Amino acid sequence: MKRLSHIQPHELTEIVKEEAIQLNFDLVRITSAESFTVDRDVTMDRIKSGHMDGLQWFTEARVSRGTNPSILLPGSKSIISLGVNYFQHRKEHSSKERPTGKVAVYAWGRDYHKVIKRQMRTLVANLSERLDSTFESKWYIDDGPMLDRAVARRSGMGWVGKNTNLLSSEFGSWIFLGQIITNLELRPDDPIKKTCGNCIKCIDKCPTGAITSPHIIDNTKCISYLTIENRGPIPINLRSSIGDWIFGCDICQDVCPVNTKSQISNQPEFTSNAKESVDLIELLGMTEDQFLDRFQGTPIMRAKFSGMQRNACVALGNIGSTTAIPALGTALNSDYSLVRGHSAWALGKLGTSAATDLLSRRLNTERDQYVIDEITTALKCPSL
């Protein structure tokens, strides 16, 4: 076996890629550890323009650090860019009697953060064993400071679409991204020159108008933000546009022509414990402990119990099934004002005499001003 110092960068790169493929990574590319100066400037502009509002953790300091690999790992030379396909076909289960809410495909299985970090940790261990040498490394996915799409783009894994998702020729946009910064000297891959051309389907089909122009998303209008990261009320003017989405949104991916040849994921962690759609009436009837039992270990936990019940209320209002009135009536008495307020909106949108009666009775006992305002609006504007 050659000593690590005697292995040429191109040989070492092939070893890295072989080990990654054996661990079930679908894509593996290499880029240098040079700073991502252009991506940093573009992202800073988005923060300053307010397009990232609502994400308190997404700060200029974080972006500055995450676009300079030498800060994250002093002495770094290369970045291993990794992709995991998570695509599954959606099946419709909803009916007027038992309405269901849609969940973004990435959240159907286990929490990908844990799954992919475990795979990356194993990759580093396997490489150390095969090379009979330790080396410096740090690994990240989208909960770390690195700009994952910038790394993937520069490594040649794909190009950034007008909906800001990374698009790969092999798997479209249905890929989780991971990065391993290392002091190994590897041979970088070249970026690819593909673009979306004149296609603007993702822009045209976004129901809230969140994609304001090519490559620019107003985070505060994005259904994914509104149903997951947003901890407060969903703006009334956007609720009807959310439709039956209760965790994330796949619309801009579903309409993307690059995704027409998507391949089913062969990763069992992303198909087991599938939560592709959720019974909304059942969700509103859950206790917090029951919610934890059902969704623990999945990305859905990020929205929290009150957030998911809030989302269920909005979806039920949009679906328009009167079978949901008893469940919405229960939600109108929730311990969470956030849930009570959105239940009031949904009942107002249904606009039946039974719904109006529930709202009137709750108004007599409600003490939270936010909820009072929601009920008052719902009573004044039935079928909002």
Catalytic positions, please?
142
Order the strands of the 245-247 sheet from edge to edge. Answer: 245-247, 100-103, 277-279
First to last CA, the chain: 72
* Coil/strand/helix, residue 137: strand
**Distance of alpha carbon 159 from alpha carbon 173, whole angstroms:** 10
**Distance of alpha carbon 185 from alpha carbon 153, whole angstroms:** 20
Q: How many residues does the chain have?
A: 384
If you search the block for the tokens 């007599």, which residue do you land on?
364
Cα dihedral 331/294/93/280 (nearest 10) = 0
**Distance of alpha carbon 103 from alpha carbon 281, whole angstroms:** 15
**Distance of alpha carbon 384 from alpha carbon 380, whole angstroms:** 9
Are the beta carbons of 34 and 188 closer than 8 angstroms?
Answer: no
Closest alpha carbon to 99 in 266, 331, 320, 291 = 320
Closest alpha carbon to 151 in 72, 56, 256 = 72
